[in-house]
Amino acid sequence: MLVKKVVITDRAPEAIGPYSQAFRAGDILFVSGQIPIDPANGMIPDGIAAQTEQACRNVSEVVKTAGMTMDDVVKTTCFLADMSDFAAFNEVYEKYFTSRPARSCVAVKTIPRGCLCEIEAIATK
């Protein structure tokens, strides 16, 4: 029987809609898109580098809560409000995703709360 479980942590921002921070199905973890909200104060930092750092920290905390590490991440989908931020985004992203998971990165018209980036992830043990 496949064990399914919602993953929740106060070390990442609460979901801002009718979804969970992550959902684990057996050995696979699906992390919902993490925007760069600091869970300690609810603030969004300025600039793409600081926002990427916070979004990566949020993904990391959710992954850790599920009993996994960032090396267990096998796929990410990244959303940028402006593709001209691609290089600066990558500079921070590569410090967190050192195992180089598969990735899609697309520009979108808007991201919730006016953020510059959002990252979702899939991890497996």
| CATH for the stretch 4-124 | 3.30.1330.40
Name, in order, each residue with C-beta under 8 angstroms of 43's C-beta and a sequence gap of 6 or more: 37
Across the chain, mean pLDDT equals 97
Catalytic hit among 56, 105, 115, 117: 105
From the CB of residue 107, how many other CB atoms can be counted at a distance below 10 Å? 12
Which percentage of the chain shows pLDDT scores above 70?
100
pLDDT at 79: 98
3-state secondary structure of 14: coil
pLDDT tens, 86-114? Answer: 999 999 999 999 999 999 999 999 999 99
Number of helices (H), then strands (E), in the chain: 2, 6
d(C-alpha 14, C-alpha 11), whole Å: 9
Task: Locate the domains of the chain by residue range.
Answer: 4-124
Is 105 annotated as catalytic?
A: yes
Position 57 pLDDT exceeds 90: yes
pLDDT at 4: 95
